[in-house]
Amino acid sequence: MSILPDGIAIRKGVIDDCEEVLRLVKELAEYENLLSQVRLTLDQFREDGFGDNPYFQLLVVEKRSSSDSGTGEEKAKLIGHALYFKKYSTFEGRSIYLEDIYVAPAFRKQGIGFALFKNLAEVAVYENCVRIDFCVLSWNKMAIDFYERLGAVNITKRENWHCFGILDEEIRKLASC
């Protein structure tokens, strides 16, 4: 059971969250030394997640605090997210691929990452998924240790799989052959 700190909640992401989630994506990319690779625009992100044919789903972590205006209204700020989508294993069946999980540094080690994974596991159980797949950079020991505490296994070590990708320019070359 996970108990989140006061004022923090996890909920399904909505289109109005896209600007803040894109900010979090850039924070993550900066941490991973990959900020120069982020080409995604806000309009594209909105369309891809909330258009007629959504490519991903979001869980967001929201921190609520009292407004400074004295009205008693609460302000909300996103401090984390999990971006995922459905995939399929021809060996095992339904799966989820977790593209990003991120909690802002000031809010780490408070159970929020665990709670995000717990929520994602609940989605996977509801959808009858047999696995949640994700990648982690080899140098990110803190994340690797965290994932292993959750019960994640290193598929590369266990099954000797290596992940490959065909990138934008090569996709276009291949398509035009």
Could you identify the residue written with the tokens 């992100």? 45
Helices (H), the chain: 18-31, 42-50, 112-126, 141-150, 155-159, 168-175
Q: Which of 124, 11, 126, 8 is nearest to 59 (CA)?
A: 11
Could you identify the residue written with the tokens 């959504």? 54
DSSP assignment letter at 78:
E
Torsion 32-35-37-38 (CA) sign: positive
- 55, 88, 126, 147: which is the annotated catalytic residue? 147
147 is a catalytic site residue = yes
Q: What is the H or E stretch that residue 19 is in?
A: helix 18-31
Please give the positions annotated as active site: 147
